[in-house]
A and B are shown apart, each in its own frame.
Chain A
Amino acid sequence: MIAALIFYMFAALTVGSAVMVISARNPVNSVLFLILCFFNAAGLFLLLGAEFLAMVLVVVYVGAVAVLFLFVVMMLDINFLKLREGFLQYLPTGAVVGLVLLVELATLFGGWAFAPDVEALVRSPMPPVAEVSNTEALGRLLYTTYAYLFQASGLVLLVAMVGTILLTLRRREGVRKQVIADQVARTAKNSVEIVKVPTGGGI
């Protein structure tokens, strides 16, 4: 009974905050609702017994991705009146995009069926939950059966990272920067020079 109530609470909050993400006027509020949405989705994972996924969802999406969203959105300087001005102008385009998505969803759900062996799959989780914890089970699958896919996704992330660094790297001439190696390498010998100054002569 209590579990069902908690499920409905999480589910309702997830859907409600998802609606608020697109309907909130202020983009910062949108991102805050998105965070609430992620959080409740993590709660749903917990109810399913998938504690590892729940925690990773919070760590990755709420703790890192959404922080960057919030970071960017807060820096935007948006004039809300201007934002609402073009509403009628963009309405047809938006409506067409929405319609296409709706049709796609309808076809997807129309042709959707459960896999024939789904009952058996659900009944026999691999490996049994009672013996192996959730995290361990995922790790065993990920590093054995799906090791190549796992490595491939790692490579994709690496490429994305290199690309980002390449895009943002720029060399500017004439900018004085702190080079710590140079500072550490300096000794009294090569930085202090004792000069005998003749009176009135200067250096």
Chain B
Amino acid sequence: MVDLLSGLLPAEIWRLVVIVLQILAIVLPLLVAVAYLTYAERKVIGAIQLRKGPNVVGPLGLLQPLADGAKLFLKETILPTGANKVVFLVAPMLTFILALIAWAVIPFDEGWVLADINVGVLYLFAISSLGVYGIIMSGWASNSKYAFLGGLRSAAQMVSYEVSMGLVMISVLISAGSLNLSDIVLRQKETIWYVIPHFPMFIIYVVSILAETNRAPFDLPESESELVAGYNVEYSAMTFALFFLGEYANMILMSGICVVLFLGGWLAVPGLEWLPIPGVIWFALKICAILFIFLWVRATFPRYRYDQLMRLGWKIFLPFSLLWLVLTSGVLVAFGWLPGQG
């Protein structure tokens, strides 16, 4: 069948078609995952607060995300007067697109990756550093004080936490000796999951991704008690939905990166390799575990004050991750464990 089709089309076009199909194979499950992450969030927080959560639409409320989606799709998109229309409409699209394109380099299983590039870690870092634009642009273009304050807060917050995230990533990648995500996972197969030697970095990374995705307890850009809804206060219908989808896709993405860097990506839990579970399922299970932390934290912790947030990022995480980086390189050199030196 495949040979027949490839005979009909020129090779370049055929390659293009395959890539488009691969992209769809990543994006469609991702969108379903996003929809059911919102459902899981409401169910988990409901359980923590001794409520039922959504339980009306469909069995166990399972169709609730679809109903929410349909509602957002059918509502009217409102453009505020005085808004910069182009930037106002580009911002949510940018947020959503950035949350999707980062998945190109995530390895789902050995060889299951859309673009197996040598600078995968840097690519992810570049894309996640762009995420701030969607928010700051929406905050500015809305021509509203609350949205603007939310946008500014988020810009400062995301830039601050990226610094320590970058240092954490460097600690991991000098242990692995590669910027390629598949190589990092394979290296963990040879040695040990990096969550064990780099446990303090794992903690810092998990806290940083909470800040980076603007989730509780660091959801200051949209803190509803002071800024109404922050940067997205003027958005409605599909434009709002794109922000929402982008935020949740980013949560899944950041959990995915965390799993690849620290929890051995698609590898089975040590001792359970005999189970007939494919790597991609392990990968999904580990992502779910990290996502559960996101939801758990949201239901448990009160919101940080802004100066405390900045203090945590700059005065605690940054020096500590820098120290850990020096320590890691020192240990690797002292014991001759540097990858590539045998």
Contacts and interface: CB of A to CB of B under 8 A. Distances in A.
Interface of A: 2, 26, 28-29, 32, 35, 51-52, 55-56, 58-59, 62-64, 67-68, 70-71, 74-75, 133-135, 178, 180
A54 B216 CA distance: 33
B129 A58 contact: yes
Contacts of B151: 74
A51 B12 contact: no
B117 A32 contact: no
B206 interface: no
B179 interface: yes
B159 A55 contact: no
A71 B130 contact: no
A133 B129 CA distance: 24
Contacts of B78: none
Interface SS majority for chain B: helix
Interface string B146-181: 001001100110010010001000000000000100
Contacts of B130: 58, 62-63
B123 interface: yes
Given A32-B137, A135-B179, A63 B118 contact: no
A71 B137 contact: no
Contact of A52 (B119, B129, B133, B166): B119
Interface centre among A55, A62, A68 (most CB of B within 10 A): A55
A133 B180 CA distance: 11
B155 A59 contact: no
Interface string B110-142: 000000011100110110011011001100100
A71 B117 contact: no
A178 B155 contact: no
A67 B136 CA distance: 9
Nearest to B87: A32
A56 B121 CA distance: 11
A74 B159 contact: no
A70 B118 contact: no
A95 B148 CA distance: 37
14 contacts: A2-B12, A28-B87, A35-B133, A55-B122, A55-B123, A58-B126, A59-B125, A63-B132, A64-B129, A68-B159, A70-B140, A71-B136, A135-B119, A135-B122
A58 B307 CA distance: 28
B118 A133 contact: yes
Given A32-B137, A52-B122, A63-B125, 16 more contacts: A28-B87, A55-B119, A55-B122, A56-B122, A59-B122, A62-B129, A63-B129, A63-B130, A67-B159, A68-B159, A70-B140, A71-B152, A75-B152, A133-B118, A135-B118, A135-B179
